[in-house]
Amino acid sequence: MNNILNQIGIENYIFLSVILFSIGVFGVLYRRNAIIVFMSIEIMLNAVNLLFVAFSTYHQDAEGQVFVFFSMAVAAAEVAVGLAILVSIFRNLGSITIDNLKNLKG
């Protein structure tokens, strides 16, 4: 069984996930809508997951893929908690624009 990376190259996976990760970062900074920000974070995590799998193939080692499971669990947990916080903010504030969260400063 040939290593698929011989055809694509690990670098390209790295670049892909770096760009994807950067897009996630961009999203977090660019958007004021909390939900989209969450989504951006998910994109970041997924970029890393993708790289994990690529590395797993690179090393021909399953641990990387196992780690992705944990990463998914973490993502899920984060989203759950994040959305819970978001909901309570929405209840109090009636909006989920993170620019409105500027009471704490100075």
Output the smallest distance, CB 49 to other proteins, in A. Answer: 7
Output the smallest distance, CB 19 to other proteins, in A. Answer: 6
Residue from 9, 100, 13, 99 nearest 53 by CA: 13
Taking a C-beta distance cutoff of 8 angstroms, is the pair 68, 49 a contact? yes
Which residues are CB-contacts of 54 (< 8 A; sequence separation ≥ 6)?
5, 10, 13, 14, 17
Taking a C-beta distance cutoff of 8 angstroms, is the pair 100, 56 a contact? no
Output the smallest distance, CB 94 to other proteins, in A. Answer: 9
